[in-house]
Structure 1
Amino acid sequence: MACSPHNAVRPMHQCAYDNFDKIHDRNIGIIARDTILSSFYVDDFLVSCSTVEGAITLASNIDNILTAGRFKLRKWNSNSATVLTHMGRDSSPTEYSIDAALTSVLGLRWSPVDDNLLFKVELKQPGGICTKPSVLSEVAKLFDPTGFLSPVVVVGKIFIQTLWSAGIDWDTPPTTELRGNLA
């Protein structure tokens, strides 16, 4: 449903308004509340902190606010083993290591080891017949809610416009000249 993202985030926003005063320092509670209000996208929470101590404090305050509303955040991830240790649920101190595996968030892949954002794009193998439907399908697969891929996506959209302007039929492959414009 079109309203699903709103329905997923709205109760957490209300929880942030209702429970930010659970943090003893009002100013810090307001920072945690505002972070909740601005950093959730459906069920993903993304925030960057300049220090490890700041990350631990913010994560703890956000967790306290949301726990007061019976929201339980899971799957914490960080590029700092210290932050991961503090966000662990075990009462015994456990050694955490940063997993080399990529984490997927908002269509992006994030490598916590080297703190890089990556995209995974799987285009059809060359050699298939290029037609308007295949071009539309490939461009539509470029999910980019953050806008990082805009320079790439716009090239695909311009190519689609070029196909339409050239008056090529739906299932007719574009000319070699038009395909050369894509390169």
Structure 2
Amino acid sequence: MVRVAEEDTDYQRLLWRSSANEPVKHYKLLRLTFGTACAPYLAVKSLQALAHDEKLKYPIAAKTTETDYYMDDLLSGSETVEEAIDIYNEMNNLMNSGGFQLQKWSNNCEALLQYIGENKRDDNELPFKVNSVIKVLGLTWNRVADTFEYTVNLPEPKQPITKRHILSEIAKLYDPLGLIAPVVVIAKMIMQKLWKTGLDWDEPIDGILQAEWLRYRENLMCIKDLSIP
């Protein structure tokens, strides 16, 4: 729903044809296109501009939009159910005024979940999450216990184990809040040792480093037992 300024659409030109036998067609994308370098900034800026334009009409939602968004995920909270309902209603009204629709609501208050279920805007709105565990920005949130939890899904290690293989698995350790930094830093130290060996990306690693990595990989499963308030 975000239209690009006319003078900037020339930078979103593309050539296309469905087969080599067809003439090439020329297109110009008129709306914000995800995948471009500027898209994350423009997406966030569009929400901020909407909040600024409508802040007198929807003051609670405008403030929430300015402070509680991470990209297109809204993470907010309140002290009371009544305040949460006000946020829910105002946020829907504010977003709808800009052509956006909030979906997949979830929270740890059954009264609010019931209110959302009874007051959803239309039948096309996706159902809100009612299961106890959901993903929030890559973290696992248990809404019943109101805790962060970690999941590790690593397949059986493939042979030979290489630097490329290990780096790929280290990249799956997502910890934006640094809550398991003592765990992640060990993986980074193993990677540092691999660089010092001078091995190529697809060259098998030696026995000592391989054993250290496999031992770390096995112990990594223990973070499933962590529960962080």
TM-score between both structures, scaled by the size of structure 1: 0.77
Following TM superposition, by how much is the alpha carbon of 1:63 offset from its aligned partner in structure 2, in angstroms?
2.3
Q: Pick the structure with greater CA Rg.
A: 2
CA positional deviation for 1:83: 1.2
1:52·1:82 contact (CA, 8 Å) conserved in 2?
yes
- C-alpha spacing 1:128/1:149, structure 2 compared with 1 (3 Å): farther
Pair 1:106-2:137 in alignment: yes
Partner deviation per Cα, 1:77-113 (whole Å, 9 max, x = no partner):
111111122333359xxxxx98235322211222222
CA contact (8 A) 2:104 2:129 kept: no
Deviations 1:110-142 (A, max 9, x none): 222222222332223257432211111101122
1:67 has 2:96 as partner: yes
Offset, 1:52: 2.3
Q: Which runs of 5+ in 1 are unaligned?
A: 24-28, 92-96
Quote the Cα distance in structure 2 between the aligned partners of 1:22 and 1:179.
62
Scaled by the length of structure 2, what TM-score is found? 0.63
Q: 1:143 is matched with which residue?
A: 174
1:11 — aligned with what? 46
1:155 lines up with 2:155 in the alignment: no
The amino acid that maps onto 2:55 is: F
Contact 1:139 1:156 in 2 (8 A): yes
| Alignment correspondent of 1:26 | none
What SS does structure 1 have at the residue aligned with 2:67? helix
| Letter matched to residue 45 of structure 1 | L
The amino acid of 2:154's aligned partner reads L
Q: Which has the higher helix share?
A: 1
Distance 1:119-1:3 versus aligned 2 partners, 3 A rule: farther
CA contact (8 A) 1:32 1:58 kept: yes
Contact residue 79 and residue 112 of structure 1 kept, 8 A: yes
Name the % identity. Answer: 35
Contact 1:163 1:174 in 2 (8 A): no
Aligned equivalents of 1:71 and 1:101: distance in 2? Answer: 27
Give the distance between the partners of 1:118 and 1:174, measured in 2 at CA.
34
Q: Tell me, in whole angstroms, the C-alpha distance in 2 between the residues paired with 1:9 and 1:138.
A: 30
Residue of structure 2 equivalent to 1:53:
82
CA contact (8 A) 1:32 1:61 kept: yes
Which whole-Å CA distance do the structure 1 matches of 2:120 and 2:76 have between them?
A: 24
Cα RMSD over matched residues?
2.8
